[in-house]
Chain A
Amino acid sequence: MSKKLKILAVCGFGVGSSMILKMKIEEVLKQNNIKADVFTADVGSASSTPCDIIFTSKELEKNIRSKVNVPVVAIKNFIDKVEIVENGLPVVRDVLNSFKE
Chain B
Amino acid sequence: MLYLINEVINLSNRDIIEKENIKLNVYAKDWKGAVREAGNLLLSSEHINEEYIEDMVKAVEDLGPYIVIVPHIAIAHARPTNEVLKNGMSLITLEKPVEFGSEDNDPVDMVFAFCARSKENHLEALQELVGILDNEKKIERLRNIEDIEEAYYILNRK
A residues sitting closer than 8 Å to B (CB atoms) are 11-17, 19-21, 23-24, 43, 57-60, 63, 76-80
Contact = CB atoms under 8 A, between A and B. Distances in A.
Interface string B55-91: 0000100111111011100010111100000000000
Nearest to A23: B130
Given A13-B79, A15-B122, A78 B63 contact: no
A17 B103 contact: no
A78 B78 contact: no
Contacts of B122: 15
The listed residue with most A CB atoms (<10 A of its CB), out of B67, B69, B75, B77, is B69
21 contacts: A13-B79, A15-B77, A15-B116, A17-B66, A17-B75, A19-B123, A20-B69, A20-B126, A20-B129, A21-B69, A23-B126, A24-B130, A58-B66, A58-B104, A59-B63, A59-B64, A59-B102, A60-B63, A60-B64, A77-B70, A78-B70
Interface in B9-58: none
Contact of A77 (B103, B105, B114, B126): B105
Contact of B104 (A16, A19, A76): A76
How would you classify the secondary structure of chain B's contact residues: helix, strand, loop or mixed?
A: loop
Contacts of B70: 77-80
B6 interface: no
Contacts of A78: 69-70
Nearest to A11: B66
Closest A-B pairs by Cβ, 8 of them: A59-B64, A78-B69, A59-B66, A57-B66, A76-B104, A16-B77, A12-B63, A13-B79
B36 to A, nearest CB: 18
Contacts of B134: 79
B5 to A, nearest CB: 27
B145 interface: no
Max chain B C-beta neighbours (<10 A), residue from A14, A19, A24: A19
A13 B69 contact: no
A70 B105 CA distance: 26
A23 B127 contact: yes
Nearest to B103: A58
Nearest to A60: B66
A16 B114 CA distance: 9
A44 to B, nearest CB: 10
Nearest to B77: A16
Contacts of A21: 69
